[in-house]
Structure 1
């Protein structure tokens, strides 16, 4: 690792094959915590290259415990995290709303690193038991339209750096990798990024693949559609800037989507919204995200149609029933 760090400190870049091998060595726990922290810090001080990100991704996917959910045409709805905005769990709530419309969701997630509550924190607080058993995950999809893939159960490299990431409590390149390494390789992806350059890197990597995807970067730095500003939206057909007003929505304030100061606070907000008692701002944010997810799966579906399907899922309490089914299977 010393030679690798010296190379990086000299402003050199890693090739795709070098990046892949280093991550495989990290997974094999060949480096100590100080080396890991130093290595991760490099990519907080300069942009990661497409080759580096692709190499890290290839290593994680090669080492992953893979599962085959291809029978279900699933979508993953996931953000990088690390935007420092401390919102409630928008992508996780969106996933349950989408599942409530009948669309199968294979949600990939993890514990929070830089905010109060990640998707894994939230599901664990509701009593969900993480598993990497394909038979059980298929049963979840069959009965609840959603399964949850807790990253450390599938990615030994992520597990190997979990304590270092938690100690740093900052966004690292692992935040960038998470949305790209769903071990079930779904054919539909809705990805959010805190950084425009990362959004472009995702687009560069994903446009070579035979999948449907939409990449979201809010102009004011959120890794999801926040309705606090416009957002960049990348698909295989190009990119555009979309403003809340273009969708018939009002702009909202950051304080209106605050997620609280603890997992307990976040869980209270989560349940309130699922029970149909969210504020107008909270509801519109998750419904807008859910509608975009549905249009990624079926690009012929108008936004308005998708939004109404999402409303029926949320206010008809279908999303709430999905959560109850999932934790009780």
Structure 2
């Protein structure tokens, strides 16, 4: 570990193999909290490195509990977090809306670390019980159109890291890894990243996974999702483009209109207000934009604005709310 730390403190990148071995050691409980904190802090001092993210991901997926979707094609909508914007749970809400529109969703998420309320925090407040029982999850996918993978139950390595991440309360390379670690390896995925360099790294990694289709989003003003507060860079396997609020058929929003709650109960209140049709226009529209882009990821031949309309109908017809009700039932 001393040699590794000296290398990191010298800002020398780890090879993919070295990164794999480092996280395998952490994941297998062979590193103490002080060592883990030192590794996290050292890596935080410089930009993300492709070889390191690849190696860390290799180790995490090797240690993860796998899920067999039995041939079903699903989508995940997930961001890195760590953008410091403290928005409400847009990606989790978008997942409910997409499921309400008739598409299968396998959502991967966890507790908030660098923000107040993560997807697991709000689902727990809504009465959802976490599980990694494959039969229960597949039943949920069948009945509700969605199932939720609470990351700590699928990535045992995280239990060794969680106390350190919680105490540091800053984004780390684990924020970068999270969206790449869905144990079901869904056919489709809408990623959100907090900077363009991370988007580029994701794109490089995913280009080799020909069985998957994806869009990678980074809002130019720093959000790890479509924020409608300005333009967003969107990468797919085929192209890179800038999307503006008008491309979604929606008005531009202010950052203040996207602010989330400081507690899980406040997050729950916003969550329900969106699904019950009682939210502010800004809250509703930003969810429809992200859900619309997710649907567009599944069927790119359909116009983006038509996909946004599908998302809106999912909310207006009560379908998205029905998804939540069946999920927690």
* TM-score, normalization by structure 1: 0.98
Partners of 1:129 and 1:176 lie apart in 2 by 26
Aligned residue in 1 for 2:277 = 276
Deviation at 1:208, TM superposition (A): 1.0
Deviations, residues 273-313 of structure 1 (Å, cap 9, x unaligned) = 11011111111100010010001011112112211111111
- Structure 1 unaligned runs (5+)? none
Deviates more, 1:180-189 or 1:68-77: 68-77
Aligned residue in 2 for 1:58 = 58
Superposition CA RMSD, Å:
0.9
Deviations, residues 68-124 of structure 1 (Å, cap 9, x unaligned) = 114220000000011110100000000000000110000000000011100000111
Aligned residue in 1 for 2:289 = 288
Question: 2:78 touches 2:91 (CA, 8 Å); kept in 1?
Answer: yes
Partners of 2:312 and 2:250 lie apart in 1 by 14
Deviates more, 1:42-51 or 1:114-123: 42-51
Question: 1:76 touches 1:108 (CA, 8 Å); kept in 2?
Answer: yes
Deviation at 1:130, TM superposition (A): 0.7
Aligned residue in 2 for 1:31 = 31
Corresponding residue SS for 2:157: helix
Aligned residue in 2 for 1:130 = 130
Deviation at 1:245, TM superposition (A): 2.2
Question: 2:11 touches 2:46 (CA, 8 Å); kept in 1?
Answer: no
After superposition, residues 1-329 of structure 1 pair within 5 angstroms as: 1-210=1-210, 211-328=212-329
Partners of 1:183 and 1:70 lie apart in 2 by 13
Question: 1:291 touches 1:306 (CA, 8 Å); kept in 2?
Answer: yes
Runs of 4+ with deviation above 4 angstroms? none
Corresponding residue SS for 2:37: helix
* TM-score, normalization by structure 2: 0.98
Question: 1:70 touches 1:186 (CA, 8 Å); kept in 2?
Answer: no
Question: 2:117 touches 2:261 (CA, 8 Å); kept in 1?
Answer: no
- Structure 2 unaligned runs (5+)? none
Corresponding residue SS for 1:216: strand
Corresponding residue SS for 2:78: strand
Deviates more, 1:177-186 or 1:254-263: 254-263
Partners of 2:295 and 2:249 lie apart in 1 by 18
Partners of 1:10 and 1:184 lie apart in 2 by 37
Corresponding residue SS for 1:127: coil
Corresponding residue SS for 1:77: strand
Number of corresponding residues = 328
Deviates more, 1:232-241 or 1:298-307: 298-307
Question: 2:53 touches 2:177 (CA, 8 Å); kept in 1?
Answer: yes
Partners of 1:241 and 1:191 lie apart in 2 by 15
Q: 1:284 to 1:272 in 2, by over 3 A?
A: same
Corresponding residue SS for 2:117: coil
